[in-house]
Amino acid sequence: MGQWYGCPATPANQSSQTTANYTYATVTSVGTCPVAGSVTKIECYVYATGTFDFATFGASGSTFTDKTFALGVVIGTTGYHLLEAPGHFTAFDIAIGDFIGCYSSSGRLDRDDGTGWGYHYDSGDQIGDSGGSTFTHSDTSRDIQLRFWIETGTLFEETPSDSFTLQDAASYGYTPGLPGVAWGEENPGGTVSGISWTTWQKSTGVNEQVIGDIDWGQLNTYDFIHVSNVYDTELTSTANFQISTNSWQAGSGSGTLYIRGDTSSFLWDDGSPSWIETTTASSLDDRDWRYLQLKVEHTA
């Protein structure tokens, strides 16, 4: 979930261009940025190739200060470009009230001189040192062909993760090596079985969003509730269950994990049995669950 902020349409070829070795902060029809989130995509139309820095700016009068940025993005061909994190740059935050902009010592972006709300600019590189600089406002109808995609949901990533560890009925405490299952981890080792993220859903027939490998990458749960398949443990007696996350590699963000189970099978979206909220590492002892399911919700 998110929105574009910057030039009002997909960046395109125009009759004018920006000037190399200047830092620009754009002005848009909606003013400064209306939402907060994470910049995960950048669109631009390149007139002259080069190494570009992209940034957000805060402003106090004519003093502009770079806040967050992606430095050293090499663009080697002219024309339209869609840059995406994490392949082209590392995602960075943007806040309500920010400007967006760019700098390149040799590169240049196309600029529409017939529409737009102008921009602010200063000579030289003003990105990367978080220092303030006095910008000049160009109030003519100019529109730099640049915009940022802002993810507006809170990001909760479960990276190759042991979503729960199943303990057998004879165990007391949580001794390693007992039967278990790990969603999102291809080779958990021991007696733990790996299960692909493709068994998770966020709505009927709609699978989870995964960053990287579709089976073993990062489960990306922003603005959605994601649930696992209903898993048959094949247990026939009471067992102790331990739930944990990110046991093999680290995830990031904030989220809430839930578990539910029953002696009989149930559908993935049934209203019962009831969900039990857990911490990132909690235990549920003496449960007569043969069938169980996990749910992850992002934390706003």
0.75 surpassed by pTM: no
Q: What pLDDT, on a 0 to 100 scale, did the predictor assign at position 127?
A: 94
- For residues 14 and 140, state if they share a domain: yes
Close Cβ partners of 21 (under 8 Å, ≥ 6 residues apart): 104, 105, 106, 123, 124, 125
The last residue of one of the domains, among 100, 116, 151, is 151
User: In the chain, which stretches have pLDDT less than 70?
Assistant: 1, 29-30, 152-179, 189-191, 202-211, 221-224, 244-255, 279-283, 298-300
Q: What is d(CA 148, CA 25) in angstroms, rounded to the nearest whole number?
A: 12
The last residue of one of the domains, among 151, 166, 185, is 151
Beta bridge partners of 264: none
Q: What pLDDT, on a 0 to 100 scale, did the predictor assign at position 186?
A: 78
Beta bridge partners of 81: 44
- For residues 202 and 136, state if they share a domain: no
Tell me the per-residue pLDDT of 194-253, one tens digit each, with 9 for 90 and over: 788 888 776 555 555 666 777 777 777 655 677 888 888 777 777 777 776 666 666 666
- For residues 80 and 128, state if they share a domain: yes
Range of the domain at 6: 2-151
Close Cβ partners of 286 (under 8 Å, ≥ 6 residues apart): 238, 239, 240
Q: What pLDDT, on a 0 to 100 scale, did the predictor assign at position 230?
A: 87
Q: How many separate domains does the chain show?
A: 2
- For residues 117 and 195, state if they share a domain: no
Q: What pLDDT, on a 0 to 100 scale, did the predictor assign at position 25?
A: 94
The last residue of one of the domains, among 124, 151, 178, is 151
Q: What pLDDT, on a 0 to 100 scale, did the predictor assign at position 249?
A: 61
Q: What pLDDT, on a 0 to 100 scale, did the predictor assign at position 1?
A: 55
Q: Which residue has the tokens 């027939």?
A: 205
Q: What pLDDT, on a 0 to 100 scale, did the predictor assign at position 276?
A: 85
Q: What are phi and psi of 295, to 5 degrees?
A: -140, 140
